[in-house]
Amino acid sequence: MASVSPPAPPRPGRHPDAMDRIRPLGPLQRLLRRPDLGAVLGVLVSWGLFALVGGSSFSTADGAASYLADAAGLGILAATVALLMIAGQFDLSVGSMIGAAGMLLAILVVEFGVPAWLAVIVALLFGAGYGALNGWLVVRTKLPSFIVTLAGLFVLRGLTIALTRLITGRTQVGGVDDVDGGSLVNTLFAARIGPFSASVLWWLAITAVCAVVLSQTTFGNWLAATGGNEDAARNSGVPINRVKIVTFMLTGLAAALVGVIQVVEAGSADTLRGQMKEFEAVIAVVIGGTLLTGGYGSVIGAALGALTFGIVRQGIFFTGADTDWFQVVLGVFLMVAVLVNSWLRTRALKAR
């Protein structure tokens, strides 16, 4: 009678399902798991649409310069707001900071004769300091950052209007470009390289730095951990209070930088500058694939979200349509972007 050999035992370390569990993701799975995929599609669709209906000028270098310049200020904000939202926080005071920092710069230069370069430094430090105050209030009071910074939005805007009127008797200050010592400031913040403005270079540089911080540093891991599960992050040794304060400082600094750029480019300041920018920044970040609940997102996606803003706003102008339709188109883009990003995340989970 022939003997039957027992089946050979599995080789050590090779559980039957082990290879399935460690199988690397394929190209499609990796693509679907990118948070900024929806933003890439949004840019391509919006640019393609307006390239078709916006006339030949839209596709020229001057056309590109127009929508890049339009998107640059929002892009600077969105890069840091993306980091903040990934950490699970909101800053609704950034729009008011744009007006406040710009007005501070203008008053120091025009009314008090402070050198332009020194006034710029003071304005930037003011932005970072106010951001630190927001972060400290969030940490100390345990109130939602939405409430703390919403209050800050009204307080900062009100103080800017009241103090400006008290000092100057008006709510607009001009003549910033007429002061001595402004050449270096103008070069840094208002120079042009061909048709492209310096603000575009600031946007690209800040986006690159924030993207590296998020993806390549320990602090970036802390951001995602804090936004994903704050209690677990704290138990793992993540200094969540420091993370929150630093990210609020970054958003305040970015808003102040946008205010400085606007004043130097225009040569004047207005207390109402920056209105609605806090909401536009959140929308750009959400279009870029960042979750409102935190823990997941992309700085590059936020930059693409800001670029979509610029393309749509300038694209409507190039078509000759009434620019009042911009907010309608923006609302539609927001809803579609959220739906697309949700669908892509669902597909990515199913493809694992």
What tens digit of pLDDT does each residue of 93-143 get?
999 999 999 999 999 999 999 999 999 999 999 999 999 999 999 999 999
pLDDT of 5 over the 70 cut: no
User: What dihedral do alpha carbons 105, 108, 111, 117 form, nearest 10°?
Assistant: -80
pLDDT of 2 over the 80 cut: no
Q: What confidence score (pLDDT) does residue 86 get?
A: 96
Q: b vs e for 170-192, b when ≥16 Cβ sit within 10 Å of the residue's Cβ? A: ebebeebbebeebeebbebbbee
- Would you call 61 exposed, middle or buried from its count of C-beta atoms within 10 A (0-12, 13-18, 19+)? exposed
**308 backbone dihedrals φ, ψ, rounded to 5°:** -60, -40
Contact 32, 348 (CB under 8 A): yes
DSSP state of 320: T
Residue 172's pLDDT band (cuts 50, 70, 90): very high
Q: What confidence score (pLDDT) does residue 350 get?
A: 62
CA 40 – CA 301 distance, rounded (Å): 8
Residue 67 CB neighbours (<10 A): 25
Q: What confidence score (pLDDT) does residue 54 get?
A: 76
Most confident of 14-23, 56-65, 304-313: 304-313
Residue 22's pLDDT band (cuts 50, 70, 90): very low
Mean pLDDT score of the chain, rounded to an integer? 86
At which residue do the structure tokens 């640019």 appear? 47
Q: Is 174 helix (H, G, I), strand (E, B) or coil?
A: strand
Residue 233 CB neighbours (<10 A): 23
- Nearest-CA neighbor of 270 among 125, 188, 168? 168
Contact 244, 139 (CB under 8 A): yes
Residue 1's pLDDT band (cuts 50, 70, 90): very low
Please report which helix (H) or strand (E) contains residue 172, including its range: strand 172-174
Q: How many CA atoms lie within 13 A of 248 on its CB side?
A: 29
pLDDT of 220 over the 80 cut: yes
What does 276-317 look like in DSSP terms, one character per residue?
A: THHHHHHHHHHHTT--TTSS---HHHHHHHHHHHHHHHHHHH
Q: Output the CA angle 272-278-281, nearest 5 degrees.
A: 130
Contact 314, 66 (CB under 8 A): yes
Residue 218's pLDDT band (cuts 50, 70, 90): very high
CA 262 – CA 273 distance, rounded (Å): 9
Residues 6 or more apart in contact with residue 49 via CB below 8 angstroms: 315
CA 236 – CA 238 distance, rounded (Å): 6
Q: What confidence score (pLDDT) does residue 325 get?
A: 78
pLDDT of 19 over the 50 cut: no
CA 171 – CA 137 distance, rounded (Å): 29
Please report which helix (H) or strand (E) contains residue 227, including its range: helix 218-228
- Nearest-CA neighbor of 134 among 245, 222, 239? 245
Residue 46's pLDDT band (cuts 50, 70, 90): confident
Contact 177, 186 (CB under 8 A): yes
Residue 291's pLDDT band (cuts 50, 70, 90): confident
What does 259-275 look like in DSSP terms, one character per residue?
A: HHHHHHHHTEEETTTTT
Arithmetic mean of pLDDT, 218-236: 94
Arithmetic mean of pLDDT, 143-151: 96
> Does residue 350 or residue 281 have the better pLDDT?
281
Q: What confidence score (pLDDT) does residue 336 get?
A: 79
Amino acid at 350: K
pLDDT of 11 over the 60 cut: no
Contact 309, 70 (CB under 8 A): yes
pLDDT of 66 over the 70 cut: yes
Q: Output the CA angle 134-138-141, nearest 5 degrees.
A: 125
Q: What confidence score (pLDDT) does residue 119 get?
A: 95
